[in-house]
A and B are shown apart, each in its own frame.
Chain A
Amino acid sequence: MIPLIIGITFISFIIIQLAPGSYLDQLKMNPQISKETIKKLEEAYGLDKPLLVQYFMWLVNALRFDLGYSFSYHVPVTQLIWERIGNTLFLSITSAVIAWFLAIPLGIWAALKPNSIIDKFIQLFSFTFMSIPNFFLAFLLLFVAVKTGAFPTGGAVSPDYEQMSFWEKLGDRLWHVSLPAFVLGISSLAGLVRLVRSTMIESLNSEYVLFARAKGLPEREVIFKHALKNALNPFITLLGFEIASLLSGAALIEIIVNWPGMGMLMLDAVLSQDLYLVMGGLYIGAIMLIIGNLIADILLAKLDPRVRQREIEGVLR
């Protein structure tokens, strides 16, 4: 895990250094800024040292979550990311909740009656929305939103947000998140439903389900306790990926619907070569991935005794 973080950050460092010019080059073009000031800035940001030294300076600080200063905003990167991360997490968690809470019951429903009308309908739905690019779906919904005025078309809160009571604030936030969350939710729902359906069908056709039925267990118990529980494993792994993509998965949609989250911040940072901001974003993204994988591994071991067994054997060997 640690080598992974070092690898990711090192490669991103190299990539950004490869980019022609740097943020200071833009300042050098400005005749009002003297050479001495630029020199001072270079020293302050450690840009006059060799590349490897720069990288290690950054890494040592990053382990303490001190991600350096942003060139263009002149505030600590941690603070910038902290301001935006809440919005991004709010959006991606809402959409993930929509997707997972609909996908599992719908997938089970489709799997229980394969090739019935309901199943066909769910399949059609998932195929359609799997193929609609989510930025296009966002455009379509923005079009509807402008025409009907039912949804806000940008921002995370209304202008008079500060004057609202707690419940109004909550409602306002939910109202603003609804459009992008729907777009993201429905796209990932489409893929998830197909996966739930196929794993459930496989599980329902297996011998342990046949046995459970033969034992005379009520159908409810067969489905939820035997079939579903055994079909869960791939989804735990997926859940790990889901956590990993909480920060970056929504980036494009955020940019399109003007959601004040990490996406816009990172796009600007990359375009203006704001070195430490980009590094910070990638670093936190990588940490999210590792946390996601860790949670998935723990959940897998908790739910599946076979995984536990394997782990114990691995330790003993």
Chain B
Amino acid sequence: MVNVADRLKDAREKIYSLDFDAHWYRRAFHAFGASFLLYYILPDVDWINILKLWIPPLIVVFVIILEVFRLTGKISSNHFFGLRMYEKKRIGSYVFFAVAILILLRFFPQQIAIPCILCATLGDPIIGEIRRRFSQKYVYLLGFLVCMYFFIITWFKSDVLLIILVSIVGGFGAIIGETKKFWWLDDDFMIQMIPAILLLIIWISIPYLGLSYPGEIIYPSIMPW
């Protein structure tokens, strides 16, 4: 008869021996952030609206508390897989990432928030891979095109002139946010907020440009019951 304790021990050793490449873990973590777009598809009913109001800030508060514990040494930085060396004594990039997504979801129209979130969640890891494989000049060019693409496909309901303007300005803002590095402010925040602020200026100017506002990209789902 097989000893249950031995089998459990074997299983545990197998789990402990698994190893992830931190680099790919970080990339996948970025891409995972696109899941937050679920926010826009949730049905527009009272109790879900209450959850939509409270859950995102609670997640951010949880992340900030976790980070405070890490920076004060109450939780070891070793628990945070994929953390970079320079983040050991600085606020981790995941905090900036979460705060920027919360600001976008709460205070910006979805036409601005969605492409900016896509730039951070998918554009940033793609740019990272371009940086690893090619020279810096390709980072600017290809990164700009990737981010521009996200603005084009999400503004497809608007006028052609507006699509061109938004995609160029948004792509430019995102690539500036990604490539301009500050020790105290992470690019995960900048890649979302710089294009968002630039697009907000365009958004406010739309009536003055004689153009019309684009329709919503995502409509809330309808409760099946």
A binds B: no
Residues of A within 8 A of B (CB): none
